[in-house]
Chains A and B, each alone.
Chain A
């Protein structure tokens, strides 16, 4: 836990000081990276901690984004919008998760995919409400009691959001509930035998992840000032999954690194060569063939001397011992 908090402080410093050195374009890029990082971390939570692979996670992101587009203008206050958006997305995750979590591995993947696509289809077809496939502009302006005027102000809101969720994940993964969730992923039947309601814990993780994704979606709407059904599409969910895998499944900082990596490639490299997808695809393949589990694991191996462990795997064993010992 101490190591994670140290990492948190480093990130805090980076996020704080970034606007001092960055130009307009770089700042804009960083904002996108931070938003995506929140979204990808939420997926990393269920993939790496709860072992649930979902191809429909973008649905929660999209719900948050459309919430702002449709109602943000009427609600006004940014805190309120964030809270409501997160709650709605979380609620949706809780309901759908309740239905889907019982499905085994491969089926869970498919059902999250189809659910996400269903929401995508709804956003696509309800032209009068959502603008259909053309999307709709976001009228709402971020309002924290004072109207945010500059990009830098919005950047700090996003940065603080990212840091807050990162801290939350550290705390959650070290809490009894979080450890139980990880235990369920590692060995579900054993946890059940220990008396844990595995479904309930998975649902908790899924709901949290959904809310978090919605939070990211809300921020995105203010940032991009335009929403479209693509935000709900499985391809976007797939991209997020890629970012988790690249960064390193099961790690805390992995998803954020994966997000940064992907967004940088997409924006920065694309101004040098139009063929950036090929480069990106090759990197993916190289990571799979030689990367051994993602960037974080790669870095860990290279710096194994530092013993920089980000998640304490022995916690589960300790928890188990505590329960079974007299």
Chain B
């Protein structure tokens, strides 16, 4: 085992972990703050990737396509929240059925519109090169993804700890009724938080599209992994999503080569153990009921 290989594997794992982090962070905020079971969270991830794919097909510049696709998905999520989800706050069964319905509608719609063949997002020309690290070349695009992930983590930390809205959300995670009693219009905050979570998932989908591809089924695959991430890492804070995502990302990637038969079992074993021993996860705060 040599240093180059180890470094490359670490970077691969980190890149994958960052993609997981972004989508899990969104889910953590939504589940942690709004207590909503949203089975369609992976759908935001997927739709963003497909939207970016179409935009790429229309020869839209990559750097422009990212914000456009994110905004589109955020608008979509606001529509979902306002028209549908807002009616089932507090009703877990209904949320499950409703979001499951959304999940299967869009899973099929995606096949209908774009076909069932897996596709790839093209890497933007400006990032489509590799740098030499020892005896192998490493694609710069993956380093870019790691960088974006770190930026998002920093932004979330700042947002959470240094802004008023962050304080409201932190308070809301602890005690929602109190927040509302303070006169803060929780409804608008809810919608905003939901859209923000969807936006994060969208960002992950677009960036990930060039590495992981764009294909039907990516919604449920990512959903389950993000659930694992937030359970292991903990709800309600960016630290949870970050630590959980890195752990899962590294386990998955390293596991592919070194213990392929075990990695899947290991990940779920981790999840089970954490739930039994420390249900709030590594860094999580107690979920308000």
Direct contact of A and B (CB under 8 A): yes
Q: Cβ of B279: which chain A residues have Cβ within 8 Å of it?
A: 103-104, 107
With beta carbons under 8 angstroms apart, the residue of B108, B227, B289 that contacts A113 is B227
How many residues of chain B have a CB within 8 Å of chain A? 40
Which of A74-82, A114-122, A178-186, A188-196 interfaces with chain B? Answer: A114-122
Bound together, the chains give a CA A278 to CA B102 distance in angstroms of: 9
**B235 to chain A: closest residue by CB:** A106
Nearest Cβ on chain B to A51's Cβ, whole angstroms: 11
CB of A277 within 8 A of CB of B104, answer yes
Residue A61, interface by CB 8 Å = no
Q: Cβ of B88: which chain A residues have Cβ within 8 Å of it?
A: 288
CB of B101 within 8 A of CB of A234, answer no
Q: Could you say which interface size class chain A belongs to?
A: 35 or more
Q: Cβ of B102: which chain A residues have Cβ within 8 Å of it?
A: 281, 285
Interface SS of chain A: helix, strand, loop or mixed?
Answer: helix
Nearest Cβ on chain B to A231's Cβ, whole angstroms: 16
Bound together, the chains give a CA A18 to CA B231 distance in angstroms of: 47
Bound together, the chains give a CA A111 to CA B228 distance in angstroms of: 10
Q: Cβ of A125: which chain B residues have Cβ within 8 Å of it?
A: 261-262, 264-265
**B35 to chain A: closest residue by CB:** A106
Which of B9-17, B90-98, B185-193, B238-246 interfaces with chain A? Answer: B90-98
CB of A249 within 8 A of CB of B103, answer no
With beta carbons under 8 angstroms apart, the residue of A114, A249, A288 that contacts B228 is A114
Q: Cβ of B103: which chain A residues have Cβ within 8 Å of it?
A: 281
Which of A6-14, A25-33, A202-210, A235-243 interfaces with chain B? Answer: A235-243
CB of B268 within 8 A of CB of A114, answer yes
CB of A287 within 8 A of CB of B105, answer no
CB of A117 within 8 A of CB of B268, answer yes
Chain B 251-289 interface mask (CB, 8 Å, partner A; 1/0): 000000000011011011101100110010000000101
Chain A residues numbered 264-319 whose CB sits less than 8 Å from any CB in chain B: 275, 277-278, 280-285, 287-289
Q: Cβ of B289: which chain A residues have Cβ within 8 Å of it?
A: 105
With beta carbons under 8 angstroms apart, the residue of B98, B107, B108, B272 that contacts A284 is B98
Which residue of B87, B100, B271, B289 has the most chain A CB atoms within 10 A of its CB atom? Answer: B100
Which residue of A111, A275, A288 has the most chain B CB atoms within 10 A of its CB atom? Answer: A288
CB of A114 within 8 A of CB of B275, answer yes
Q: Cβ of B275: which chain A residues have Cβ within 8 Å of it?
A: 103, 107, 110-111, 114
**A116 to chain B: closest residue by CB:** B268
Residue B77, interface by CB 8 Å = no
Residue B34, interface by CB 8 Å = no
**A241 to chain B: closest residue by CB:** B96
Q: Cβ of B231: which chain A residues have Cβ within 8 Å of it?
A: 110, 114
Bound together, the chains give a CA A99 to CA B279 distance in angstroms of: 13
Bound together, the chains give a CA A107 to CA B87 distance in angstroms of: 24
Residue A219, interface by CB 8 Å = no
With beta carbons under 8 angstroms apart, the residue of B87, B108, B276 that contacts A275 is B108
CB of B101 within 8 A of CB of A288, answer yes
Bound together, the chains give a CA A3 to CA B97 distance in angstroms of: 29
With beta carbons under 8 angstroms apart, the residue of A100, A118, A242, A283 that contacts B268 is A118
Nearest Cβ on chain B to A95's Cβ, whole angstroms: 13
Q: Cβ of B107: which chain A residues have Cβ within 8 Å of it?
A: 277
A242-B105 in contact given A121-B268, A288-B88, A289-B84 (Cβ < 8 Å): no
Residue B109, interface by CB 8 Å = yes
CB of A238 within 8 A of CB of B264, answer no
Bound together, the chains give a CA A107 to CA B276 distance in angstroms of: 9
Which residue of B92, B102, B104, B262 has the most chain A CB atoms within 10 A of its CB atom? Answer: B104
With beta carbons under 8 angstroms apart, the residue of B105, B267, B272 that contacts A282 is B105
CB of A242 within 8 A of CB of B92, answer no
**A238 to chain B: closest residue by CB:** B100
Nearest Cβ on chain A to B268's Cβ, whole angstroms: 4
**A114 to chain B: closest residue by CB:** B271
Chain B residues numbered 176-227 whose CB sits less than 8 Å from any CB in chain A: 220, 224, 227
A281-B105 in contact given A107-B275, A238-B39, A245-B96 (Cβ < 8 Å): yes
CB of A249 within 8 A of CB of B272, answer no
Residue A43, interface by CB 8 Å = no
Residue B63, interface by CB 8 Å = no
Q: Cβ of B96: which chain A residues have Cβ within 8 Å of it?
A: 238, 241-242, 245
Bound together, the chains give a CA A242 to CA B97 distance in angstroms of: 6
With beta carbons under 8 angstroms apart, the residue of B100, B262, B272 that contacts A115 is B272
Bound together, the chains give a CA A288 to CA B20 distance in angstroms of: 31
Chain A residues numbered 84-135 whose CB sits less than 8 Å from any CB in chain B: 99-100, 103-107, 109-111, 113-115, 117-118, 121-122, 124-125
Bound together, the chains give a CA A103 to CA B220 distance in angstroms of: 25
CB of B101 within 8 A of CB of A285, answer yes
A278-B264 in contact given A107-B275, A285-B84, A288-B94 (Cβ < 8 Å): no
Bound together, the chains give a CA A118 to CA B268 distance in angstroms of: 5
CB of B98 within 8 A of CB of A288, answer yes
Residue A53, interface by CB 8 Å = yes
Residue A246, interface by CB 8 Å = yes
Q: Cβ of A282: which chain B residues have Cβ within 8 Å of it?
A: 101, 105
Q: Cβ of B269: which chain A residues have Cβ within 8 Å of it?
A: 118
CB of B112 within 8 A of CB of A275, answer yes
With beta carbons under 8 angstroms apart, the residue of A234, A242, A280 that contacts B224 is A234
Q: Cβ of A246: which chain B residues have Cβ within 8 Å of it?
A: 97
**B266 to chain A: closest residue by CB:** A121
Q: Cβ of B264: which chain A residues have Cβ within 8 Å of it?
A: 121, 124-125
CB of B261 within 8 A of CB of A99, answer no
Q: Cβ of B262: which chain A residues have Cβ within 8 Å of it?
A: 125
List the 3 closest A-B pairs by CB distance, nearest first: A284-B101, A281-B105, A277-B108
